[in-house]
Amino acid sequence: KAGDVRFFLMNGLPLMRDGSYAAFRRVPAKGDVRSNIHAAGTARKVRVTDTMLRIAEMVRPKLVGDGMFLVGLDIVGDKLLEINVFTPGGLARLADMYKTDFATRVIVALEEKATLRRAYGKTVPNSRLATL
């Protein structure tokens, strides 16, 4: 009934800006169990808990090792349901919700990654670039 939390990680770490985490609760519409926004779920602010941070830390080595740049963790209570690696939607929604432009942090990180890629070429894998 309370839905799930979409929690964004960038380079394996929680995405933050201006003291806010990039995370929101997806609450299902009345009478539906799906909390997806496209299934009439609604987005609400959420307080990131120590449990959510522990889950993020637990998956961080795998995400960095696999070179995953921007992902969305879907969390219910103390359970990780899914790691969205291809289309972690909802980031734009957070700008209005928290009055913070998280996308700028992502763009700056991508620009830094492109600069490192130009400097090192293919000699440094994406998973290593995430740790520089």
Span 48-85, pLDDT tens digits: 999 999 999 999 999 999 989 999 999 999 999 999 99
H or E stretch at 100: none
Please give the backbone phi and psi of residue 59, each rounded to the nearest 5 degrees, phi first.
-95, -10
Number of domains present in the structure of the chain: 1
* DSSP symbol at 54: H
pTM summary value: 0.87
**112: containing domain:** 4-130
Interatomic CA distance for residues 40 and 30, integer angstroms: 9
Q: Which has more pLDDT, 1 or 113?
A: 113
- Tokens 């600069």 found at: 115
CATH number (domain holding residue 54):
3.30.470.20
**Two structure tokens written together for 8:** 């964004």
